[in-house]
Amino acid sequence: MASHPGSDVLIAGGGVAALEGLLALRAQAGQAAVITLLAAESDFVLRASAVVEPFSRGHARRVPLREIVEDHGAHLEVGVLAAVEPERHLAMTADGRELHYDRLLVALGALQADPFPGATVFRASDGDPAFLEVLAQAVAGEHGALAFVVPPGASWALPLYELALLTSMHLAEHGAPPVELSVVTPEKHPLEIFGRRAADEVERLLEQAQISLRTLSRARALEGGRLSLEGGGAVHADRAVSLPTLVGPKLPGLPADGLGFIPVDEHGRVAGLADVFAAGDCTSFPVKQGGIAAQQADAAAAAIAASLGLLTDPPPFRPVLRGLLLTGSSPRYFRAEPGAGREPASVAIDAPAPDARFSGEGISTRSALWWPPSKVAGSHLGFWLGRPRGTGDGELEDRFVRGDDAAADAEWQAALELALLMAENEARFGDWTAALRALDSAQALTGALPAEWAQRRDLWEAELAGTPRSDLAG
């Protein structure tokens, strides 16, 4: 790692928070910061889309980390961060290396643990063979009841609801014998973090799919076709599918709360340490979600740039929660601002209707799985991932221009629709920066925006600059 006093930034991690931090810091600091990414694996995996793999509706996208790192003038080190010595500004790897840093951004993610005895844990990795087995056995009539369980504690419940809804559709499509499906959750309402309107929408979707809902319930164990609950009571279930319980990395040299998570302030600074920052699931912020991790990384990158004298008044982390719920038909988009001192605002939006040319293939529904801004709302990473690969200056790939590949053309069209939908939705909430970035993604796909949307860009830029126009569109 080259030595540039005062500007060596080490980012530890290979997920959403780490990569968003890398891209955001490069945008804030230019070439003044010498950035090294320390990652345990050589690929970035977009695990938010892994929920569709068991249903043959897509796969988790993989991108070589070297491609992202080199594209942004950084250096990649493959290894596992094992400890930090803040006084010496050293990060130690599991294989014994010592890496110097002037600023350190820890974005390791969380560790996974089994939530209760008897659970089939969906880990969104390695194809999830245990869940595939459950699904195949249900289709074959070997299970009469399946429970989908949201674990208590720090987690992200949305994928569990996706699994339940997609399982219902999968069983119907494969002519499976009747299977009793249920969702068990400690929440008062499903996905209540997005507000009541979103909860009502999810309840309606579950009812349409004939999935029963058991709220304010924590699972204790599955045994003999019975899922026992804390405080008494039980749910009939031959198998219980759960998300893992999340715990923090408890890294030697860094402070940690009782669950091993790293405490940080609103700028991502680790408590008690001047030059160490953290973002994402490894922090003590209770919501563990890619979009939130990206926002934390943006705040930490701005604070790092400010500490290097490259930025003044770095904006703090102010969470805006965005979620895409895959239902098996039209996805739903949710948005909320948790912790805003009021009932969270929420909105549930149907995806654009599929183009008639592709409705038989379901491409419009699947398209949300491939376009990162719908699943990872990172303002920098989402834009980078959303560009057509192999292009320069936002130009379209030849295969899109020629239109000789129907699947690629369908994916491109759906991505464009989603970009414009995202822009319009963010503008409704007055988030002009997010709306403009979504338009940037749309322009990267088309080369030029339609006249109507070009006008909206002008209006939103005026709002962002503090000169609102009365004829604001959207």
Q: pLDDT, tens digit, for every residue of 280-332?
A: 999 999 889 888 999 999 999 999 999 999 988 999 998 888 777 878 777 78
Which two structure tokens, joined as six digits, stand for 59? 């796969």
With CA atoms as reference, report the closest residue to 369 among 225, 213, 191, 166. Answer: 166
Q: Is residue 185 very low, low, confident or very high in pLDDT (cuts 50, 70, 90)?
A: very high
With CA atoms as reference, report the closest residue to 436 among 447, 449, 376, 347. Answer: 449
Residue 69 has pLDDT above 70, yes or no: yes
What residues does 229 pair with on adjacent strands?
219
341-376 pLDDT per residue, tens: 434 444 444 443 333 222 222 222 223 323 343 455
pLDDT of residue 402: 32
Q: Which residue has the higher pLDDT, 110 or 367?
A: 110
Q: Is the dihedral of CA 355, 359, 363, 367 positive or negative?
A: positive
pLDDT of residue 137: 96
Indicate the range of 34-48, 150-164, 409-423 predicted with least confidence: 409-423
Going by their DSSP bridges, the two strands 103-106 and 276-278 should be labelled as: parallel
Q: Are 237 and 226 a contacting pair, CB within 8 Å?
A: yes
Spatial separation of the C-alpha atoms in residues 188 and 12, rounded to whole Å: 36
pLDDT of residue 210: 96
Collapsing DSSP states into helix, strand and coil, what is residue 358? coil
Q: Is residue 235 very low, low, confident or very high in pLDDT (cuts 50, 70, 90)?
A: very high
Indicate the range of 120-134, 158-172, 356-370 predicted with least confidence: 356-370
Residue type, 155: S
Residue type, 270: V
What percent of the chain is predicted at pLDDT more than 90? 52
Domains of the chain with bracketed CATH: 8-110+248-307 (3.50.50.60), 112-245 (3.50.50.60), 321-464 (no CATH)
Q: Are 117 and 224 a contacting pair, CB within 8 Å?
A: no
Angle of helix 406-428 relative to helix 432-446, nearest 10 degrees?
A: 160
The C-alpha angle with vertex 115 and arms to 113 and 119, in degrees rounded to 5, equals 110
Kind and range of the H or E run holding 13: none
Kind and range of the H or E run holding 158: helix 158-173
| Distances 472 to 117, 309, 459 between C-alpha atoms, Å | 55, 36, 6
Q: Is the dihedral of CA 139, 140, 145, 149 positive or negative?
A: negative
386-426 pLDDT per residue, tens: 665 444 333 333 333 333 455 445 556 656 776 777 677 67
Q: How many residues does the chain have?
A: 474
Spatial separation of the C-alpha atoms in residues 242 and 468, rounded to whole Å: 47
- Entry pTM: 0.80
